[in-house]
Structure 1
Amino acid sequence: MNLFNYTRRKSSEVKIGNITLGGDNPILIQSMANTSTNDIDGSVEQAIRIINKGADYLRFTTQGLREVDSLKEIHAKLREKGYTTPLVADVHFNASVALAVASVVEKVRINPGNFVDVARTFKKLEFTDEEYAQEVEKIREKLVPFLDICKANNTAVRLGVNHGSLSDRIMSRYGDTPEGMVESCMEFLRICIGENFHNLAISIKASNTVVMVRTVRLMVARMEEEGMAFPLHLGVTEAGNAEDGRVKSALGIGALLADGYGDTIRVSLSEAPENEIPVARKLVDYIAERNGHVAIDGTVAPDFNYFAPARRKSIGVKGIGGSNTPVVIGLGDSEIAPFPDFLITSNGVADRNGSAFPFIQVLDMEGVENVGPSVMCLTYPELNVDVIEILRNNPAVVILLMTSHKNGVGEQRAFFHKLMINEVANAVIINRDYQENDVEDLMLKAAADFGPLLQDGFGDGILITNNGTVSDQQVNNLMFGILQAARLRMSKTEFISCPGCGRTLFDLESTIAKVKDATSHLKNLKIGIMGCIVNGPGEMADADYGYVGAGRGKISLYKQKECVEKNIPEEEAVEKLIALIKQHGDWKEKV
């Protein structure tokens, strides 16, 4: 992997029915049905809608043996209608279901967090080395018969680790960490290799983009250490809907695609699943435009930690850089909050009180020292020895980092690394310029471009310029959304909502709308909205409050990981959620 020059990671190939994943094959797009698997006709109809949108394969939840029989019928009906798209069974908590369905579909997803280990209880458990080894042996006893059936039927397997469903056993050794997620997967991979089973793909996901990106990076490194190159499925879990879901997904997935990782992706939206396919296709196609770009000559800074990057240290200048949160530089004055911190003008950058950072030119700076707060526009090719010296002598100069390179992410990365190598600490505003008339296109491209840099700890602020019909207000909102998706700055309520599946116990889209309507003014809170308990409490560990399907028409409410009220009638749940927020002093009335 080269930080500056785009090339795809070479993975091993996996056969999934009539398609091949990994190797030199194109990145595949997938989704997951949200119908009840036992609603056979409804599932077939939805599957056809998803396939017709361009899905390469499709997943169905498979809770029990009844769902196995239903999935067999769904598979047969699709084939009767001429659809040969591979189907994937999604299994949690029940290894016997995985054995039963392995001869029914082309691929089975199992979750190492709950394939054998009991459901996560969040209790502090202690295991001796001997007890821990015994638990791993239980995995082998359950996994090997499953692999034997998969071998006999040419069935592929996805090992899908979710941040929200690590077992208490893994948590006892590694905590809720990327290292724990990786080890949860590696335990299963080692058994598979030992059984000479290689028809495997890996996914390792989180709703927190920082955790997701760092974990996948670590997973790839760990596989390489042990001589493995299995293909990767990328996705951000519980990303949400509308703008939030698109920005969060593009930022997390885009950061990894930029590094060449990823053989298949799913953009998980809390919407109709067919909506996911064109969004994912746009993202994959945009990253692919970097193929064959002019090489970038960059050097990695010695103190840069790719697996756990720290924020680059910079000098604070009038609210930009230093210990300040990354700022938003806006185009035009916003009429609706959140308001940009600074506005770009023809003469420079000005704060909302009119205090200016004037533009200065490199040519005017020879021999000049300690110039006041100002802005210098630079690109990576311009960062020569003379410019580095000028920047060192003028710490109050804020850099506006621009690029026109086909691989702008790689070129801007190289700029930051060169600053670090030369111990230049000037604050840097990252700028990208677009020509988009469609706001979704702009969301996906900008989130994918800024994501890798922000995840690497780079940037004291961002500026999106767009020569298209997307309004300044939409652009400003997008910049705040990108910073929030990167976990750098909260400017609105964060809703951690699942995309829904056959396990979902309420109408997800209408429920999200109700919860958002009641709580979207609580700008410093994270609220989880989960259809069931598979990932619910775990993914909500990062949330302040949670709303989780507990049964048909029943909701349980959480304060962080703790379930505080169970089985509330759905029609009462939003009011109960508001009461819970008020009880803990986090409620504010709408202005």
Structure 2
Amino acid sequence: MDIFNYSRRETSEVNIGATPMGGSNPIRIQSMTNTSTQDTDACVAQAKRIVDAGGEYVRLTTQGVKEAENLMNINAALRQDGYMTPLVADVHFNPKVADVAAQYAEKVRINPGNYVDSARTFKHLEYTDEEYAQELRKIRDRFVPFLNICKANHTAIRIGVNHGSLSDRIMSRYGDTPEGMVESCMEFLRICVAEQFMDVVISIKASNTVIMVKTVRLLAHIMEKEGMHFPLHLGVTEAGDGEDGRIKSALGIGALLADGLGDTIRVSLSEAPEAEIPVARKLADYIVQRRNHPYIPGAVAPEFQYLSPERRATTAVRNIGGENLPVVVAARLDGNMDFNPQFMPDYVYVGRQLSESPTEGIQYIIDADLWEGQANTWPAFKGEQLPFISGCSASLKFLFITYMGLNDEVIAGLKYHPEVVLVAQSNHPNRLGEYRALAHQLMNEGLKNPLVFFQHYAETETENLQIKSAADMGALIIDGLCDGIFLFNQTGKEGDKAIDDKVIDTTAFGILQAGRIRTSKTEYISCPGCGRTLYDLESTIARIKQATSHLKGLKIGIMGCIVNGPGEMADADYGYVGAGRGKISLYKKKECIEKNIPEEEAVEKLIELIRKNGDYTER
């Protein structure tokens, strides 16, 4: 794989109704209904909204045989009204349901974690090699008849692995690891290949973006070794709503799309399903714009491991680089020093806006030619030429640098100036490729200067800025190259609406949190909802956020049902999970603390649980 130059991974084409995926087809966009699959009218109406918004596949949960059989009515009603979009049945726990659904849907999703293996209990199981082989034979014996039904009905399948629903069998042998997730998928894929069933799509998802990206990278690598070219479905599960859901999804999915991985995407938001479609479309279109870009002659550093990257070794300069958390640099070029106290940038570039009374607690960056030794008030400066570096005694210096500008003279100068923090900038159509090439060149030259990424935009809509900046930073964060982020948004034509500076600051902090490298707020792991959801998800999330959004660093899982509930939120501090219609169970870590609480009491009970364990503070 060429990590510097964009091209899509070559995949086989999968026939899904009249909308094929993979091969030379565009990246497909999809969503999932959250209505009861036994309610034909509600499902048809919502499916139409998804399609009208641009959705190319519509997925419906099928808990039982009745729901699977009703797909026939939903399918017929949509076709009657001229909607030919393929339907996808989502099956968990019951392979008999998959057999029925394959007769009425164009694609069926099965979950290897619960297709044959019993529901997980988080217990460690010991298997001899022969016992383990016997379990694989059980899978084959049950899976092959399903494939035969799919062949007879020209139905495609998705093998959909979720981090939150790995079986006890896989967890016991491989642990909670990318290797375990990949093997869970490969067990089924090898059977498909042996049975010459090739209409297969694969997904491996997690709410943790780092796990999700590393696992899909590993899956693509393993498939390549075994001569498989199946298309990939990408998504970050339980991404949440609003800003968090958009940033987390764009970072995880964008990091993979940027490397050419992914043939269909689903952005899982805890919002109306049709709201997911424009977000997914913007993300896919933004990445695909990099096609046929000018070649970037990067050289991979020997110490870099694409499948299991570690943070690039750097020398700490004050609080930048080394073992420090990545910093946020902001711009305030108009003299406006309004900040959100929760998302206060570490450094603020003010250009030539010198102030006699700077805001307390803020480290300012000024243009190099203005610096006159103001060591206490103006401790940092920006430069663009090496003469400023040698002639300035400031303890912290920022040097803007491009990949093509990293010539022999600059390399030699940097070896004498470890106190220089590099700010990477690029105007290349594939900015990520140039930034990676710059970072790898630094490693190849043995330079350990910290590296901050300057990401500039000209957006008038906050959502566009969130999607693009998170997608641009995703791979840089996963690769371990990020010592800081500097988001800069300039308005275009006069009269264009500017995005508030505080929103830009929040976006930068949100990106670092989504990439799991710096925490600045409460993290919510909330599912998008589906026909299995057992309570009003959107209003519940709003109530929980209102009560807990000030608890920095706390992770709270908000899950509609038990399919992924206890597993996907396993690293959450507390969990709120649908247990039955209008009933909620509360968790602390993986332990269920209280079951079947009436929904109207459950949020207050959750706050009581957090308070009881000493994790709640007043605002």
Same fold (TM over 0.5): yes
- Asked whether the equivalents of residues 348 and 358 of structure 1 are also in contact (C-alpha less than 8 Å), the reply is no
Of the candidates 376, 385, 392, which is equivalent to residue 415 of structure 2?
A: 392
- Asked whether the equivalents of residues 182 and 215 of structure 2 are also in contact (C-alpha less than 8 Å), the reply is yes
Residue of structure 2 equivalent to 1:90: 90
Residue of structure 2 equivalent to 1:206: 206
Question: 1:366, CA displacement in angstroms?
Answer: 8.6
| Cα distance in 2, alignment partners of residues 9 and 540 from structure 1 | 31
- Asked whether the equivalents of residues 241 and 271 of structure 1 are also in contact (C-alpha less than 8 Å), the reply is yes
- Asked whether the equivalents of residues 437 and 470 of structure 1 are also in contact (C-alpha less than 8 Å), the reply is yes
Question: 1:348, CA displacement in angstroms?
Answer: 10
1:433 alignment partner, SS class: strand
Question: 1:500, CA displacement in angstroms?
Answer: 0.3
1:32-47 superposed matches below 5 A: 32-47=32-47
Residue of structure 1 equivalent to 2:100: 100
1:386 alignment partner, SS class: helix
- Alignment-mate amino acid for residue 68 of structure 1: A
After superposition, the CA RMSD in angstroms is: 1.4
- 1:526 corresponds to 2:555: yes
- Relative to 1, partners in 2 of residues 1:305 and 1:370: Cα closer, same or farther, differing over 3 Å? farther
1:130 alignment partner, SS class: helix
| Cα distance in 2, alignment partners of residues 20 and 320 from structure 1 | 48
| Cα distance in 1, alignment partners of residues 217 and 422 from structure 2 | 29
Residue of structure 1 equivalent to 2:31: 31
| Cα distance in 1, alignment partners of residues 535 and 184 from structure 2 | 31
Residue of structure 1 equivalent to 2:221: 221
1:245-324 superposed matches below 5 A: 245-324=245-324
In structure 1, list runs of 5 or more residues that go unmatched. Answer: none
Q: Which 10-residue stretch deviates more, 252-261 or 339-348? A: 339-348
- 1:339 corresponds to 2:344: yes
Residue of structure 2 equivalent to 1:516: 545
- Relative to 1, partners in 2 of residues 1:429 and 1:348: Cα closer, same or farther, differing over 3 Å? farther
- Relative to 1, partners in 2 of residues 1:179 and 1:369: Cα closer, same or farther, differing over 3 Å? farther
| Cα distance in 2, alignment partners of residues 3 and 391 from structure 1 | 25
2:21 alignment partner, SS class: strand
Of the candidates 355, 358, 363, which is equivalent to residue 351 of structure 1?
A: 363
| Cα distance in 2, alignment partners of residues 525 and 367 from structure 1 | 45
Question: 1:86, CA displacement in angstroms?
Answer: 0.4
Question: 1:455, CA displacement in angstroms?
Answer: 0.9
| Cα distance in 2, alignment partners of residues 372 and 529 from structure 1 | 46
| Cα distance in 2, alignment partners of residues 99 and 583 from structure 1 | 47
| Cα distance in 2, alignment partners of residues 264 and 412 from structure 1 | 26
1:122-137 superposed matches below 5 A: 122-137=122-137
Residue of structure 1 equivalent to 2:112: 112
Question: 1:372, CA displacement in angstroms?
Answer: 3.3
| Cα distance in 2, alignment partners of residues 585 and 387 from structure 1 | 52
Deviations 1:235-280 (A, max 9, x none): 0000000000000000000000000000000000000000000110
Deviations 1:479-502 (A, max 9, x none): 000000000111010000000000
| TM superposition outliers: structure 1 runs of 4+ over 4 Å | 347-350, 365-371
Deviations 1:201-223 (A, max 9, x none): 00000000000000000000000
- 1:582 corresponds to 2:614: no
TM-score with structure 1 length normalisation?
Answer: 0.98
Residue of structure 2 equivalent to 1:383: 406
- Give the number of aligned pairs: 590
- Relative to 1, partners in 2 of residues 1:367 and 1:47: Cα closer, same or farther, differing over 3 Å? closer
| Cα distance in 1, alignment partners of residues 121 and 467 from structure 2 | 37
1:345 alignment partner, SS class: strand
- 1:445 corresponds to 2:468: yes
Question: 1:369, CA displacement in angstroms?
Answer: 10
- 1:471 corresponds to 2:488: no
- Relative to 1, partners in 2 of residues 1:370 and 1:130: Cα closer, same or farther, differing over 3 Å? farther
- Asked whether the equivalents of residues 399 and 423 of structure 2 are also in contact (C-alpha less than 8 Å), the reply is yes
Residue of structure 2 equivalent to 1:499: 528
1:546 alignment partner, SS class: strand
Residue of structure 2 equivalent to 1:535: 564
| Cα distance in 1, alignment partners of residues 612 and 536 from structure 2 | 27
| Cα distance in 1, alignment partners of residues 389 and 578 from structure 2 | 65
Question: 1:69, CA displacement in angstroms?
Answer: 1.9
Question: 1:524, CA displacement in angstroms?
Answer: 1.2
In structure 2, list runs of 5 or more residues that go unmatched. Answer: 355-361, 365-375, 492-497
Question: 1:129, CA displacement in angstroms?
Answer: 1.0
2:306 alignment partner, SS class: coil
- Relative to 1, partners in 2 of residues 1:393 and 1:52: Cα closer, same or farther, differing over 3 Å? same
TM-score with structure 2 length normalisation?
Answer: 0.94
| Cα distance in 1, alignment partners of residues 389 and 363 from structure 2 | 28
Deviations 1:475-529 (A, max 9, x none): 0000000000000111010000000000000011001001111111111100000
| Cα distance in 1, alignment partners of residues 18 and 381 from structure 2 | 60
Deviations 1:441-481 (A, max 9, x none): 00000000011101100121100110121110100000000
- Asked whether the equivalents of residues 270 and 499 of structure 1 are also in contact (C-alpha less than 8 Å), the reply is yes
Q: Which 10-residue stretch deviates more, 383-392 or 87-96? A: 383-392
- Asked whether the equivalents of residues 37 and 531 of structure 2 are also in contact (C-alpha less than 8 Å), the reply is yes
Question: 1:370, CA displacement in angstroms?
Answer: 8.2
